Chains A and B, each alone.
Chain A
Amino acid sequence: MTLLETRGLTMHFPLHGGFLGRNRGFVKAVDGVDLSIKAGRTLGLVGESGCGKTTLGRCIVRAYEPTSGSIMFDGVDLAPLSEKQLKPYRAQVRLIFQDPHSSLDPRKTLRDIIAEPLRVQESGSRDEIDDKVAALLRRVGLRAEYAHRYPHAFSGGERQRVVIARALATEPRLVVADEAVSALDVSVRAQILNLLRDLQEESGLTYLFVSHDLGIVEHVADDVAVMYVGKLVESASTEELYSKPLHPYTEALLSAVPDPDPASRGQRERIKLLGEIADPSKVPAGCPFHPRCGYAEARCATEVPQLREIGGRKVACHLAEQLDLKGVLTATTAP
């Protein structure tokens, strides 16, 4: 079952400046994105800094009101709903932030932090809430006695567990995890990734897992969507995408990931991208990737490639059928 499906999701921020703050165009942070996530699965969302991952996630949790497009969640379009109409969905769709240090109020105890979304829902007596907080703390691997302590008494990994407990308080069905483990050390990161996986197995959670780290995404995601300057350029199952990318940008991203196995050194050919990611207020004509693409042809500079289906996957490249792109090695190389 598809739990979430966006159609043409678009978020343009007006660019102000100059005389009388006149509008000088738009930052096309998210520009017509179609993606879907099946219930109980994890969709990884990857792409370079500034490509619009966070903005897309914030639209889905309706922290932003999208400029246009639809967000079908379990059959209801969240995009046009008012704050009041959104209320029941606020509990079902939750966001886990990037930085565990700045997203917890230092003056509140863990109990108050975790109970906050429950209070918004006006559900339960004090005792019920206390019990629930204790259960949530245990569920994320913390001790129930910690409820009365303040965030500063905890390490980065423990704080991220608190952030997760808070997100789980309302028993959400969809969790948008935006760089949820990026600020953590590798040893602690593994603990949190395992926790997210356990929670999914226990309660069938669905994740949109936003990350710039392709190694982690390969580990956690069932499917992966690749963004470039506000648009999806490719989506496929993780296995297909990593073993055989269809879009030149995906190929370049994969080839740039450093492999922690020293034996692989020098064996993988790195694709050198020209220049840097395009400015979303001045998106190049034609294929937005063409100024950096090593395979570009004349028409790439003028014709916009649409996201289209090829063999059950999606890709936006004119040459997808004829290019033979390299992925990274698969399971056979596992230690």
Chain B
Amino acid sequence: MQPLLEVRSLRTHFELGDGVVKAVDGVSLSVPRGRTLAVVGESGCGKSVTARSILRLVEKPARIVGGEILLHPDSDGEPLDLLAAKDKRLRQVRWADIAMVFQEPMASLSLVHTIGDQIIEAVRLHENVGKQAARERAIEMLGRVGIPDPQRRVDSYPFQFSGGMRQRAMIAMALSCRPRLLIADEPTTALDVTTQAQILDLLQDLQQEFGMAIMLITHDLGVAAQVADEVAVMYLGEVVEQGPASAVLSHPKHPYTQALVRSVPRLGARGQDRLVAVRGTVPPPYERPTGCRFHPRCDAFMAGKCDVTVPTRVRSDEIDVACLLYGEEKS
């Protein structure tokens, strides 16, 4: 079956006074229909910029310089390339087809409008419904995401909500137009484990109910392991590995994913052992290593090969991986 969304060789660069930061530089990934794709990777690898690029929500000095973003229709038919679409068409896609929950809820909620008014506005922008009907939808969605007493809470302002409640309100707003894809950027990172668990459960319940696909961005491999069907691993602006969650997290192919998985303490596996850390640190954004971008930190580094040849993606078992240990090479 066709995936719902395909991102192909996406490149988004920041053109700054003293150079170009290639924040996203060749990202390819696909989001399966009605399932959850987790995008994982360390701080600064380009997860948020990728997500914003999908909805063309990047602003200067950032610019999308290449790639395709294909949104496939529910039935057979031609996909829509979001990067080539007219602005008007894209505005229809936002919210109605693809909705987004951002990393900082306070940055995307208006402080001077009530939560209810913000949801009502979003609904009415995309659907031809009256004010009262939209308000009822808002109350229903707030109740659905577990806000107590939604009839009253619909008239609250964001500052009257706790962090967890704000995150729920954001999700209610994003889902109010029944999108086919929800992009959630670190929706639980700032929350306690208890609240995090509630929000993740909520997302899974809503996915079952509405059949939507979810692209969940997280740096927490635990979160990915518990909710994702598929996992894409990013490093320095590209996806180095994508495949089924169980395969990628239990038997990763890429040396970076392998190192990442080993560096996380496992609950219940209390060892006296040291953690296996990834060597070195992420290189500064202006200096991308030649060849394989991970080569200065890789334990499987092959001199004369990994530092010259750019690995292309190959399929190994069920996993797509970009590493010269697997399959063909291309210079």
Contact = CB atoms under 8 A, between A and B. Distances in A.
Contact of B281 (A188, A194, A197): A188
Nearest to A272: B198
Given A188-B277, A191-B277, A256 B225 contact: no
Interface string A167-196: 000000000000000000111111101100
A186 B225 contact: no
Interface stretch (B60-68, B179-187, B264-272, B301-309): B264-272
A256 B193 contact: yes
B23 interface: no
B259 A187 contact: yes
A270 B269 CA distance: 19
B255 interface: no
Given A155-B281, A185-B219, A48 B194 contact: yes
A21 interface: no
A263 interface: yes
A38 B198 CA distance: 36
B222 A334 contact: no
Contacts of A277: 192
A199 to B, nearest CB: 13
A128 interface: no
B266 to A, nearest CB: 6
Given A194-B277, A331-B270, A259 B222 contact: yes
B269 A273 contact: no
B275 A258 contact: no
A238 interface: yes
Binding site secondary structure of chain A: helix
Nearest to B44: A185
A276 B267 CA distance: 24
Interface string A242-285: 10000000001101111111111100001011011100000000
Interface stretch (A63-71, A215-223, A313-321): A215-223
Interface string B191-213: 01111111011000000000000
A276 B167 CA distance: 14
B311 interface: no
Contacts of A197: 274
Nearest to A185: B42
B189 to A, nearest CB: 11
A260 B221 contact: yes
Interface stretch (B150-158, B244-252, B318-326): B244-252
A48 B196 CA distance: 11
B263 interface: yes
A265 B267 CA distance: 13
Nearest to B192: A48
Contacts of B192: 48-49, 212, 277
Nearest to A157: B281
A238 B281 contact: no
Given A187-B277, A190-B276, A212-B192, A263 B197 contact: no
A329 interface: yes
A262 B250 contact: yes
A327 B268 CA distance: 9
A157 B43 CA distance: 12
Interface string A304-335: 00000000000000000000000011110111
B224 to A, nearest CB: 8
B104 interface: no
B114 to A, nearest CB: 21
B222 A260 contact: yes
A220 to B, nearest CB: 8
Given A257-B267, A276-B195, A219 B246 contact: no
B42 A259 contact: no
B274 A328 contact: no
A333 B269 CA distance: 6
A263 B221 CA distance: 13
Given A189-B263, A219-B275, A276 B164 contact: yes
B260 interface: yes
Given A212-B192, A216-B265, A334-B269, A261 B250 contact: yes
Interface string B231-246: 0000000000000011
Nearest to A238: B270
Contacts of B148: 275
Contacts of A185: 42-43, 219, 282
B226 interface: yes
Contacts of B80: none
A214 interface: yes
Nearest to A51: B192
Nearest to B263: A190
A140 to B, nearest CB: 14
B298 interface: no
B81 interface: no
10 contacts: A48-B192, A156-B43, A185-B219, A190-B275, A194-B274, A214-B267, A215-B266, A273-B198, A276-B164, A277-B192
Given A256-B197, A260-B261, A265-B226, 12 more contacts: A155-B282, A185-B43, A188-B277, A215-B266, A218-B270, A219-B265, A242-B268, A257-B267, A258-B222, A262-B226, A330-B270, A335-B266
Nearest 4 CB-CB pairings of A with B: A258-B222, A187-B278, A219-B265, A190-B277
Interface of B: 42-43, 148, 162-164, 192-198, 200-201, 219-226, 245-246, 249-250, 259-261, 263-271, 274-278, 281-282
